[in-house]
């Protein structure tokens, strides 16, 4: 190990309860890399966060970068971070080689020594940086213009994983009051057949959604789930167990799966809202 490249990373949160430490270690082992636990401070109360520092060894620099990218989604970040690496888009609709593919988790990028929150988190996009204004945002490949500054690699990025509340209930999303003043639905009169244009039309609604309930419609649920930020409470209801796990497997970590008949679910939901 002395001759292998390494990076010291820190991860903070409810590391044991949420299984984050296990996921990080499993990911490192899956990449056939090695690690040392440098320190592990466990929170004394349910409210206190735990902090761990880990030294990750890779076979070479490229391998180490792959490992760091894999554990980044669990909140592992270098103890001594450097600025994000930027590259110019070579043409309209083309990301530069090695561009960073986003998750739907809250993400920050380090530019000129300071952390900038990335606007509109969404999975499988790139990150565009306006260095003059200090603004960072996700960008679909189709919206990239030649000369745009795009984040490449995994350096200078900080990701916050989703942690389930310890006292969460299966139907906690029903606890908020329902007001007749709140909008309850969005009526769509036309069908957009161009999938890229359809995404553009859906994206503003997905970014503003506080909660999303998907009922027995796998393809539509996945299409919508791909654009939801991890901060959005997401519930997938289906009688087929394979469907309710599909979104989580795709990267929508926040998804709560409920295996039941949709009719029974709606009846119970209506009863809860009428209380």
CA-closest candidate to residue 72, choices 149, 151, 166, 165:
151
Q: Do the beta carbons of residue 117 and residue 158 sit within 8 Å?
A: no
Pairwise CA distance, residues 112 & 68, whole Å: 21
pLDDT for 41: 92
What's the sign of the alpha-carbon dihedral 127, 118, 11, 257?
A: negative
Percent of the chain residues past pLDDT 90, beyond the cut: 48
Q: Which domains, and CATH codes, for the chain? A: 1-79 (3.30.70.2690), 81-163 (2.40.420.10), 172-274 (3.40.50.10690)
Number of other CB atoms surrounding residue 118 within 10 Å: 25
Q: How many CB atoms lie under 10 A from the CB of residue 215?
A: 16
pLDDT value for 186: 52
Residues of the chain with pLDDT under 50: 1, 170-185
Per-residue pLDDT, 149? 97
Give a three-class secondary structure readout of 174-214. HCCCCCCCCCCCCCCCCCCCCHHHHHHHHHHHHHHCCEEEE
- Report phi then psi at 148, rounded to 5: -65, 140
pLDDT at 24: 94
DSSP state of 94: B
What sign for the dihedral angle of Cα 164, 168, 174, 178?
A: negative
Dist. CA 275–CA 255, nearest whole Å: 26
DSSP 100: P
pLDDT at 253: 78
Give exposure, 10-32, as e/b (b: 16+ Cβ within 10 Å): bbbbbbeebebbebbeebbeebe
């Amino acid at each position: 190990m002395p001759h292998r490249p390494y990076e010291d990373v820190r991860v903070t949160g409810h590391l044991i309860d949420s299984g984050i430490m296990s996921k990080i270690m499993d990911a490192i082992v899956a990449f056939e890399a090695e690690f040392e636990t440098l320190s592990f401070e466990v929170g004394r109360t349910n409210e206190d966060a735990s902090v761990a520092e880990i030294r990750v060894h890779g076979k070479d620099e490229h391998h180490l970068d792959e490992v760091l990218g894999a554990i980044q989604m669990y909140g592992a970040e270098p103890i001594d971070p450097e600025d994000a690496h930027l590259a110019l888009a070579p043409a309209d609709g083309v990301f530069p080689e090695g561009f960073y593919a986003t998750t739907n988790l809250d993400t920050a990028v380090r530019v000129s020594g300071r952390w900038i929150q990335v606007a509109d988190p969404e999975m499988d996009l790139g990150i565009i940086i306006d260095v003059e204004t200090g603004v960072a945002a996700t960008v679909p490949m189709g919206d990239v213009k030649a000369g745009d500054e795009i984040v490449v690699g995994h350096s200078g990025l900080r990701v916050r994983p989703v942690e389930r509340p310890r006292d969460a209930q299966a139907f906690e999303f029903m606890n908020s009051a329902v007001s007749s003043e709140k909008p309850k639905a969005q009526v769509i009169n036309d069908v957009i057949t161009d999938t890229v244009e359809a995404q553009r039309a859906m994206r503003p609604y997905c970014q503003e959604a506080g909660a999303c309930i998907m009922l027995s419609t796998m393809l539509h649920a996945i299409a919508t789930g791909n654009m939801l930020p991890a901060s959005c409470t997401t519930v997938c209801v289906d009688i087929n167990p394979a469907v309710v796990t599909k979104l989580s497997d795709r990267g929508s970590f926040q998804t709560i799966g409920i295996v039941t008949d949709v009719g029974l679910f709606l009846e119970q939901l209506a009863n809860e809202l009428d209380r």
